[in-house]
Structure formats: C-alpha cells, structure tokens
Structure 1
Amino acid sequence: MTALVPLQGQAEPLLPETIGKFLFGANMAPWQEAVAAFLAAFVIGNIMLAMTGVAGPWAKRKITAAFTDRIAVNRVGPAGLLIIVADAVRLLSKELIIPDGVDRPAFDLAPIVMAGSALLGFAVIPMGHIFGVNLHLADPEIGMAYVFAVASIATLALAMAGYASNNKYSLMGGLRAIAQNIAYEIPLVVTAASVVLFTDSLQMSQIVAAQQEPLFTLAGITIPSWFAFVNPFAFVLFVVANLAEVGRNPFDIPEAPTEIVAGYQTEYSSVYFVLFYLGEFLHIFLGGAIIATLFLGGPSGPFLPESLNFVWFVVKIWAVFLFTQWARSAVPRLRIDQLIEVGWKGMLVLSFANLVLTAIIVGVML
C-alpha cells in the first residue's frame, strides 16, 4: 500500500538555487538567477557530454569486442582510453562536405536539433546528490510530459536530415525513423502513464519519492518499492520500447548499413557527423535516465549515503547503456515490415492492456 501512495519529497534547493546562493547570496536579481541557471545547465550538460564522450569512442568498442571475442582499442593510451582524444581530433579535423542540392537550413540544423533535444531532457531528471549538492536543474509539475516531449523532437531532426540531404538512401532512412518512432513512442508514453497511476503525479521528484518505501522483506533482504518490482511487465515493455526509440537492435532499421548505407546521416561528415553520433548516445543515456527515474528508484540505492547517491544514478544509466550494447551485438535486426507490425500490433496492444490492468489494481488497492 505505501508504495502506491505519492510521497512528498523534502524541499531542498535545486542546483541553480545552490549555485546562485553561493555566487550572489540569498536575494538574487533576475539577471543573477539567469546566470545561476545557465551555470547549472552547463554543469549538467558537461557531465552528460563527458559520459557520452567515454561511451561513444571507447566503451562501445570495448563492450562490442567483449561480446564478439575481439580485442578492440588497446594501443592509444592506457586501455586505449586516449582513442577518445584521437577520434575527436580525427573527426573534427575532417572536411565538412556539403553535397549539391541540399536544403541548407534544414541540413545544418538537423544535427544540432538531434543533440540538443537530448540535452534538454536532462533538465528535469533528478540525478541525486554529489557531496550533498542536489544535481537537479528543474522540477516542474509536468516533468514527465516535458521529458517525453523534448526527446521526441529527435524524430524531427531525423526527418530533416533525411529530407534535406538530397539522397534517396537518406530520405528512406528518415522515413523509416519517423515510422519507427511513431510506432514505439506511443507504447512508451502509455507504459509510462501506468507509473503516473501509481504516483498520481507527473513530477519527477514525486515519482522518485514514491519508490523510497520498502515493498517487502525476503530472507532478510528488503526489496524497495521500485516500479520495476511493483510492475515488472510495464518495466519490460518500457525497456523494449526504449530500444526502438534509441535505434538499437533489433530496431536499428533507420540506418541499416546493409540496406541504406547509413540512412538519414549518409551525407553528413566532420562536425555534423559528430553531432549526430553525440546525439545518438545522449539519447541512449537519456533513455537510461528515464528508466532509472520511473522504474529503478531514481538515484536511490544501498550502501551509499544520500549525499553520494549520484553514483547510483550513474550506475543505473550505464547499466541501461550496457543492455543496449548487448542488444546491438546479440539480437538480429528486424525487417521494416516486421518492426512496424511488432510496434502497432504487439507493443501498442500490450501497453494499453498494462495501463488498464494497472488502473484496476490501483482502483482496488486504493
């Protein structure tokens, strides 16, 4: 019963307020609040960019090599870590090639929109504390609706890139991305709505707070009321739909190299390609952050004090990243017709069934 009752989290200063008080004192002018908000966003953005910088050039290769019995990068720096710097220099120093006949405004904006939409999503994610500082930018009452809204802007970026590239392979990749994201975004949101039924709130801090009570104790081990334990069916549905949203196997058809070269990003090079690559991994981490928040208790976890629970948040989103890379290495790709059929005839039906079942359970228990 306690797991189903929304709990009120402690009122504590968010990261912009903490930075503002440190720099300007308690009474801040509007321009000082703006500066504090910018600095807080800069901190969170760089934390996520740093993790993405490790994940893309290095961790992805190491994980894939482990699954496929290869060595991967091991020559550039200790454990190959300096490949991050080498790849950055290599890609950013390449010539930016603009093909003839592209729709230049859309072609230029698509990579920025792709990466920016993911970074905007982290604004409402409660990341926990590091040395007592609350790493949470904003906590609006519609936080969950906001994060899904800004994350879905990535679909627009893929459509812009495919259309603007003046390339039939790119156009096909963009159209496939739109079809896939629509087919799986609806089940994703409907499944997330079942969490709202439990918490009676769209506010991310309230969703995390509702998962802090113990669910039951088994053999001396206390199981927390994380919604992955309360409603494991919804958790599995959400994880599968998230794979489709971030374009990992078996749902990587928008950029299937055996069929359409690189899909929507075929014509992109240099810094534009880097932005697309960055955006792809930022969205994987954003998906992990949403899963951690909605189903895995946010930054909460055992053994660590609350002042350091940011560590658990990082562990959880990296666990989701590891799962996506396992799927990429181990699961075969679906055909586009199979992919759409699974989305509309399978995932959509199951997500609504889960929502109805959750509503019945909550209605009976509360």
Structure 2
Amino acid sequence: MNAATPLQSDTVLLPERIGDLTGLAEFGLAGELLATFIAAFIVGNLMLAMTGVAGPWAKRKITAAFTDRIAVNHLGPGGILIIVADSVRLLSKENIIPENADRPAYDLAPIVIAGSALLGFAVIPMGNGVHLADPEVGLVYVFAVAGIASIGLVMAGYASGNKYSMLGGLRAVAQNIAYEIPLVVTGMSVVLFAGSLRMSEIVTAQEAILVDLGIVAIPQWYALVNPFAFVLFLIANFAEVGRNPFDMPEAPAELVAGYQTEYSSVYFVLVYLGEFLHIFLGGAIITTIFLGGPAGPVLPEIVWFIIKIWAVFLLTQWLRSAIPRVRIDQLIEIGWKGLLVLSFANLFLTAAIVGVIQ
C-alpha cells in the first residue's frame, strides 16, 4: 500500500456526460452552463427525494420498529402516503412571523440551512458519471460549505426574537465549534493515507486490496484500515448534524424546539429539510472517505452509494432510539476534552504509520 501517492482517477463528470448526450457541448460556454444546471437539478432532486422519504415516513417507521410501536400505517401501503399528507398539511399552513423577528435574517436562515447541505453534494462522487465536480480541494470544500449551516442556525435563533430560540442558536454554535475541529482533523488522517484532497482520488485509493482471501477480496476501505478514525468521525458527525445524543440545539424538553421554535409552514419545512439533508450529507462524506465511496459488487455504483448513506441514516435513528441525550456541559466536555485530544492523537499516529510505509 503506497499510502501517500495520489492515484489518478478516470472519473467522468455528470455535466460532461449530459453535454455529450444532449449535444450541448457543441454550444460552448452557454451549453456547458446549461448542462451543469441540468446535472445539478438531477443530483439536487435525488437528494431532496430521499430526504422527503426519510423525514415524514422512514424516520417514523424506523423509530417505531426500535421502540415496538406501529407508527404511520393508514395512508397508503405501509403509510407511505403520509409524505403527501404532511407536505400538503405543512405547506398549506399559515406562515406566522413573530412581531419582533429580525428580517431578512429570519427569512434567510432556512435557506442557508438547507442550501449549505445541497452545495456539499456538488463534490460527492456517487458513481462514475454521477459526480458534479471534482476539484483538487474537494474534501476541504465539503467541510467548508457544510459548516455554513452553523451560520443559519445562529441566524434562526437570533432573528426569531425568542429566548428559547436564542439559546438553541448559542448551543448550536458551541456544539459545532467543539466538534467541527475533531471532524476535520480526523478527516485529515484519511488524506494522509490517500495523499490527496480530491474526492475521486480518495475513493480510488480505497480500491486496492487489503486482504485477499481467495474467493473474497476485502478492499482497502479506510474504515477497515483505521477503524479508530472511523469511530471518531462517526461521533463527531452525529454531533455536527445534531442527532441523539447530541441534539442539544433543539432539546424539546428544555427549549421547545430551540432555533426552529418560531418557524412554521414552508419555513419550517425548509429547516426540517435542511436537518435531514445534512444527515445525508454526513452519510455521503462518511461513505466517500471511509466506505469506499460508491464501490461495490454486482449492483450499479449509484445503488451502492444510496445503500451506504441510508445505512448511516439508519444508524442515526438507532442511536436516537437507544441513547439518551447528554447535558450541554457533558456535550462540550466530550468535544473539547475527549474527541479533540483523540483526533490529534489519531492524526499523529497515522502520520507515523504513513511515514513508515513510505
């Protein structure tokens, strides 16, 4: 295993494929821009569709299965039409704006929360030919745009003019600062192995064989190469997306709904949508840098990509049902005194291993 040598990838980008198939590539810059827009529309709607299934339906069914309840079962097969019912119900409600809301920050916050997650999917390789962009600093880009959501949470909390919302926004800032550093540092340990920040090259580096058992060859997924880093990244990611036991910015028992308390109708839909988009974005990052990206046997790559990110989503719902929420002081201690120290220890150990391998 040559851990520090970047591997060249033959990734075909989705805008290029659409441009070739539709003939838009012949129209110069205008054709490229239109092909890029179409590609972004396809990827964005794929993520929105999965989020639309996860929020109103899958979350309820999974939680009910873990807690021995029935959940939604009246509308459609298995209650699947609750997605339509909830969409109509929420979007038809009156959008109530608090009198003391600070606009336009109040109006922009839901867009920032949801939009930052959608921007992150631009560099995620979902399969050869299902990849919007492949910049050299892809991993840095996805961490950066995902972090923009913190600004949206603060805007929502402050602009609502509600003390519970304000507390939720402040908790979100404290939580994201405490866990984003370990998240990025742990991600950098993967970069040391792959020798590149380019997402396609990180995926390509994991195609090598770790163990050959004859009939079955185990790939060099970084979750297997460095399981310690994988666990650290999972914990930090759960805190970043605000899932149990780290859902302190919402904390219904204490803060009503935290930063989203004063949001209703379409604004609430955007905030709720943003929450699940970030869960899937976290799953996409984990899939890309630890689980071999979209690679897998027999099935198409895009199918394996979807299976893997849904597996991460299932894990978040399992923890939501199994682990109680920690206190805010415990949450901050875990981040600063636990994960931060362990993430740097992992980085130094990884650097030493890579140095020996070279």
Give the residue type in structure 2 aligned to 1:50. A
Indicate the residue corresponding to 1:288 in structure 2.
Answer: 283
- Are the counterparts in 2 of residues 190 and 351 from structure 1 also a CA contact under 8 Å? yes
Q: Displacement of 1:217 after TM fit? A: 2.3
Indicate the residue corresponding to 1:352 in structure 2.
Answer: 344
Aligned pairs for 1:131-146 within 5 A = 134-146=129-141
**1:236-282 CA-partner distances (Å, limit 9, x unpaired):** 00001000011111100110011111000000000000000000000
1:39 to 2:29 alignment? no
Give the residue type in structure 1 aligned to 2:257. A
RMSD (Å), alpha carbons: 1.1
Residue 253 of structure 1: SS of its match in structure 2? coil
Residue 206 of structure 2: SS of its match in structure 1? coil
1:186 to 2:178 alignment? no
Indicate the residue corresponding to 1:116 in structure 2.
Answer: 115
**1:105-148 CA-partner distances (Å, limit 9, x unpaired):** 0000000000000000000000014xxxx100000000000000
Give the residue type in structure 2 aligned to 1:94. K
Q: Displacement of 1:299 after TM fit? A: 0.2
Q: Count residues in correspondence.
A: 358
Work out the CA distance in 2 between the residues paired with 1:212 and 1:23.
32
Work out the CA distance in 2 between the residues paired with 1:137 and 1:224.
25
Indicate the residue corresponding to 1:313 in structure 2.
Answer: 305
Indicate the residue corresponding to 2:202 in structure 1.
Answer: 207
Residue 26 of structure 2: SS of its match in structure 1? coil
Tell me which stretches of 4 or more aligned residues in structure 1 moved more than 6 Å.
none
Aligned pairs for 1:29-68 within 5 A = 29-68=28-67
TM-score, scaled to structure 1: 0.96
Work out the CA distance in 1 between the residues paired with 2:281 and 2:255.
27
**1:273-327 CA-partner distances (Å, limit 9, x unpaired):** 00000000000000000000000000001233xxx21110000000000000011
Indicate the residue corresponding to 1:77 in structure 2.
Answer: 76
- Are the counterparts in 2 of residues 292 and 298 from structure 1 also a CA contact under 8 Å? yes
Work out the CA distance in 2 between the residues paired with 1:333 and 1:340.
13
Work out the CA distance in 2 between the residues paired with 1:110 and 1:26.
37
Aligned pairs for 1:1-366 within 5 A = 1-2=1-2, 5-10=5-10, 12-129=11-128, 134-218=129-213, 220-304=215-299, 308-366=300-358
Q: Displacement of 1:222 after TM fit? A: 1.5
Residue 254 of structure 1: SS of its match in structure 2? coil
Worse-superposed segment, 21-30 or 278-287: 21-30
Work out the CA distance in 2 between the residues paired with 1:301 and 1:31.
36
Q: Displacement of 1:13 after TM fit? A: 3.0
Q: Displacement of 1:223 after TM fit? A: 1.1
Give the residue type in structure 2 aligned to 1:339. L
For structure 1, the 5+ residue unaligned runs are none
Work out the CA distance in 1 between the residues paired with 2:5 and 2:325.
41
**1:66-92 CA-partner distances (Å, limit 9, x unpaired):** 000000011001110100000000000
Q: Displacement of 1:29 after TM fit? A: 1.5
Q: Displacement of 1:23 after TM fit? A: 2.1
For structure 2, the 5+ residue unaligned runs are none
Q: Displacement of 1:219 after TM fit? A: 7.1
Q: Displacement of 1:2 after TM fit? A: 4.6
Give the residue type in structure 2 aligned to 1:6. P
